[in-house]
Amino acid sequence: MTTRETTNGKYADLVQETRVHGSLYTDPGIFADELARIWYRTWVCVGHTSEVARPGDYVRKSIGLQDLIMTRSRDGEVNLLVNRCAHRGATVCEDLRGNSSAFRCPYHGWTYDNKGGLLGYPYHQGYGGKNKLDVSMGRVPRVEAYQGFVFASFAPDGPSLKEHLGGAAGELDRLSRLSPEGESELTAGWLRHRTHTNWKMVMENETDGYHPQFVHGSIFGVTGSPIGALYSEKSTAVTRDLGGGHSENDLRPEFRDRAQPLGWFGTTEDKVPDYVARMRARYGEQAEEILIDGAPHVAVFPNLFIAEISVFMIQPVSVSETIQNVTAVQLKGAPDMNRRLLSQSVGSVGPAGMLLADDAEMYERSQRGVNGNLPEWLALRRGAHRERTDDQGYLVGDVTDETGIRGFWSQYRTVMEEG
Ligand code: FES
């Protein structure tokens, strides 16, 4: 199927207001459609400008199944090259990261600059002399950063990144404001968690405020964590459909009730005095609100999830396999805070992380379950009867409601049905 062929209402049938069909998680044909219509068309988050801070820096990235190299060229531009030689298609770069102004393909020695242009090739006579060959590495046509987060789209035109982000942009702003220098960084290195589930199971789980009390209940109990109460039936926190498939669990009503700076992070200001002093110096009176409100818990369609202290970028591998790339939030100009952000992030989503292991067990179980044929549908009705509109015009539900997941699916249906 090409991206311009109509789906004849197929996805409007499979994705309904309060239920979705099980085949959406198991049908390889649907996965192929998603690659074409979502991953190779819409804006996808690929990384962060801080990963390629210096000219020549590069890191391997991906969109869908495409292997990419994100580079910083001498002109300061962030480029995304398809990791494929223009000669016979070999991958040009195998290193995960490094610093180089050029890439040399190991197969026959063709060499490219870090914007993808062909610099040279051996044995010119075979191409009729020293004529420059009119080929280059593929470049993802649109690459743009917002608050340091690098997004890219294989569609040469379409909605701008700002239009795509819509209401989610404010959540990225919130993250940056937690830095005394107004910038977040992703410099702690990435963990790659391979999980046997469909990518949508992962993204749905990110915005699901119904499961924490059950899936993570034991760890909340052992550690005495206050997080569980935020996701109880009595919680004043809300889940918000930010439009465009983006959603958040907004925990600020609970944090504002408690009015404790850094309460969102489970700590107190005396533990990170330098950070707090720098925040007050930069933001003045506004610092109290920033320190009380804390970091966002936001899912950005289709693949970015910020869970307060950790950042996830979701990478589909097959209809039943997904990689979660995970790193700790780091805040520019906040070394004392960054040490804590890193250790807490490792504790929750690291190799032996307590939260991610619990979550992975659940969405792998869901994936095994949907291989069964009956019942055909997955229910998405929780809280549909009590949704309301907030003063900004967004749909909100109680924090345990499936308002955000319904927002994800609404955007999914729109994108998959688009001609
Ligand atoms: Fe790269 Fe031949 S495949 S130089």
Digit-coded pLDDT (tens) for 155-180: 999 999 999 999 999 999 999 999 99
Q: Name the nearest CA neighbour of 171 among 242, 259, 75.
A: 242
Q: Is there an atom of ligand 1 within 6 Å of 90 CB? A: yes
pLDDT-based confidence at residue 5 (cuts at 50, 70, 90): low
The distance between the two most distant Cα atoms of the chain, rounded to a whole number of Å, is 77
pLDDT surpassing 80 at residue 129: no
Please give the Cα distance from 358 to 348 (Å, whole number). Answer: 10
Please give the Cα distance from 124 to 122 (Å, whole number). Answer: 6
Closest CA to ligand 1's atom 2: 108
82, 94, 103, 107: which to mutate for ligand 1, most atoms within 8 A of CB? 107
365 Cα–ligand 1 center, Å? 43
Q: pLDDT, tens digit, for every residue of 275-284?
A: 999 999 999 9
Residue 3's pLDDT is 44
Interacting residues of 267 by C-beta distance below 8 A, sequence separation 6+ = 340
Q: What angle do CA 383, 387, 390 make, to 5 degrees?
A: 145
Residue 353's pLDDT is 82
Q: Pull the structure tokens for residue 362.
A: 């659940």
Q: Name the nearest CA neighbour of 329 among 166, 183, 140.
A: 183
pLDDT-based confidence at residue 219 (cuts at 50, 70, 90): confident
Q: Pull the structure tokens for residue 279.
A: 């925040």
Q: Would you say 140 and 154 are in contact if contact means Cβ atoms under 8 Å apart?
A: yes
Ligand 1 atom having least distance to the Cα of 88: 3
90 Cα–ligand 1 center, Å? 6
Lowest-pLDDT choice from 18-27, 97-106, 228-237, 280-289:
228-237
- Which CATH class for the 169-417 domain? alpha beta
87, 103, 137: which to mutate for ligand 1, most atoms within 8 A of CB? 87
What average pLDDT does the chain have?
Answer: 95
Closest CA to ligand 1's atom 3: 88
Q: Would you say 237 and 231 are in contact if contact means Cβ atoms under 8 Å apart?
A: yes
Q: Name the nearest CA neighbour of 45 among 137, 120, 142, 150.
A: 150
Q: Which residues pair with 99 in a beta bridge?
A: 57
SS3 per-residue string spanning the chain: CCCCCCCCCHHHHHEECCEEEHHHHCCHHHHHHHHHHHHCCCCEEEEEHHHHCCCCEEEEEEECCEEEEEEECCCCCEEEEECCCCCCCCCCCCCCEEECCEEECCCCCCEEECCCEEEECCCHHHHCCCCCCCCECCECCEEEEECCEEEEECCCCCCCHHHHHHHHHHHHHHHHHCCCCCCEECCCCCEEEEECCCHHHHHHHHCCCCCHHHHCHHHHHHHCCCHHHHCCCCCCCEEEEEECCEEEEECHHHHHHHCCCCHHHCCCHHHCHHHHHHHHHHHCCHHHHHHHHCCCEEEECCCEEEECCEEEEEEEEECCEEEEEEEECEECCCHHHHHHHHHHHHHHHCCCCHHHHHHHHHHHHHHHHHCCCCCCEEECCCCHHHCEECCCCCEEEECCCCHHHHHHHHHHHHHHHCC
19 Cα–ligand 1 center, Å? 49
Q: Pull the structure tokens for residue 25.
A: 């998680």
Q: Pull the structure tokens for residue 3.
A: 């991206």
- Average pLDDT value for residue range 36-65: 98
pLDDT surpassing 90 at residue 130: no
pLDDT surpassing 90 at residue 6: no
pTM for this predicted structure: 0.96
Q: pLDDT, tens digit, for every residue of 69-91?
A: 999 999 999 999 999 999 999 99
Ligand 1 atom having least distance to the Cα of 86: 1
| CATH no. of 45-146 | 2.102.10.10
pLDDT surpassing 80 at residue 131: no
Residue 221's pLDDT is 84
Omega before residue 375 within 30° of 0, cis: yes
Residue type, 125: Q
Q: pLDDT, tens digit, for every residue of 286-344?
A: 999 999 999 999 999 999 999 999 999 999 999 999 999 999 999 999 999 999 999 99
Q: Would you say 50 and 186 are in contact if contact means Cβ atoms under 8 Å apart?
A: yes
Residue 2's pLDDT is 40
Residue 1's pLDDT is 37
Ordered by start, the domain boundaries in the chain are 45-146, 169-417
